[in-house]
Amino acid sequence: MNMSRKKFTSARRWVVKIGSALLTDDGKGLARDALSSWVEQMARWVLAGNELILVSSGAVAEGMSRMGWRTRPSTLHELQAAAAIGQMGLIRAYETCFQKHDLHTAQVLLTHDDLTNRKRYLNARSTLRTLIGLGVVPVVNENDTVANQELRFGDNDTLAALVANLVEADLLVLLTDQQGLFDSDPRSNPEAELIDESRVDDPKLDQVAGGSAGALGRGGMVTKIRAARLAARSGTATLIAPGFAEQVLTRIAEGEPLGTMLLPVQEAEAARKRWLAGHLQVRGQLVVDDGAVKVLRESGRSLLAVGVKRVVGEFSRGEMVACVDQRGREIARGLVNYNSRESDRIKGVPSSRIQEILGYQDEEELIHRDNLVLV
């Protein structure tokens, strides 16, 4: 057995995400037998003294099934209605199944806004850690009924990765209706081979991801790779595994090499850096020169106004902006100390002239290194 895989699958704290196509039998209603089997395996894991958080898709799909809708709604209010209807059946099914194993569950609904506000981020982390400390299984989903398009995570793979960051999970398991990640599309290439293991920074992953999510979900292999890279910021490995494989979670726990393991490449980042990385809503861009790119990448220093060539978009002080090179490639992102209008006035000038140009100086840096994370 590969020891790097064993290190993570035998670790104590897991986040497990189950996708819509699995949970709803591809849109025919909740796959209750399969759900009961997954819960039995998760319960066995928890009762053995381990910790688990479940991130569950399926609310919208279950709502669609209950309403007899064959295609996913395109309007936000219909999606929110479907989520509200389906959430009832989804959570009831989980609660009933876990109770058979004498385990309590807790419903946790999150929006992106909950995780971009630092205080609410810390509150969410404390709540989740308290629940798992009590031996309760948190069932997490995006709060679809209130989230608007600007505040959506985009898919539950991303939400699961951010939850893994929150609780510093050892392993993120993404259960899917695929065997894992292949080196080419198995639907068109019968010679395609399953990728057993890779590092999250391997550029080949982007070339082979392909594929979309289908009619029910919002995620595909692209979102799973992005989620794996986000989870890796807390030192978490990600396993893309076949949800319909018999006793899949138990076999993973026993070290069987199922699916595709994506391994982190660095030690866990500090909690504040992980929070910054979880900001998915970028309000603007600072186009920086080659010297600034080198300083950011190699020295981990703050971004000064002198290194900025151009300011793109409108943003306020304290909002998240992306730092991109002159070819448009994102280098870093961080919380900016000056708004877009002020940033545009002081771009390209040394910090010593900020007071002269603006009439005041709040900070020497456009983005302080403590509020900056490389991407």
Please tell me the CATH code under which domain 282-374 is placed: 2.30.130.10
**Residue 250, H or E segment:** helix 248-253
Q: Three-state SS for 88? A: helix
End-to-end, the C-alpha distance of the chain in Å comes to 32
Please tell me the CATH code under which domain 3-274 is placed: 3.40.1160.10
pLDDT at 298: 85
Query: Of how many residues is the chain composed?
Result: 375
pLDDT at 214: 44
pLDDT at 156: 85
pLDDT at 115: 77
Q: For residues 78 and 85, what is the distance between their CA atoms, to the nearest angstrom?
A: 11
Task: From 289, 272, 291, 290, select the one nearest 334 (Cα to Cα).
Answer: 272
| Residue 285 region by backbone torsions, left for phi larger than 0, else alpha for psi between -120 and 50, else beta | beta
pLDDT at 212: 43
* Domain residue spans of the chain: 3-274, 282-374
pLDDT at 307: 95
The rounded radius of gyration (Å) of the Cα atoms in the chain is 22
Going by their DSSP bridges, the two strands 330-335 and 320-324 should be labelled as antiparallel
Q: Are 283 and 315 in contact (CB under 8 A)?
A: yes
Question: What residues contact residue 17 under an 8 Å CB cut-off, 6+ apart?
Answer: 54, 55, 56, 57, 156, 157, 159, 160, 172, 173, 174, 175
pLDDT at 362: 79
Single-letter code of the amino acid located at 7: K
Give me the average pLDDT of each 10-residue run along the chain (375 residues).
64 91 76 94 96 92 87 85 90 96 95 77 89 95 63 72 91 93 81 90 80 46 89 92 95 93 83 73 92 89 94 91 93 92 95 93 88 86
pLDDT at 234: 87
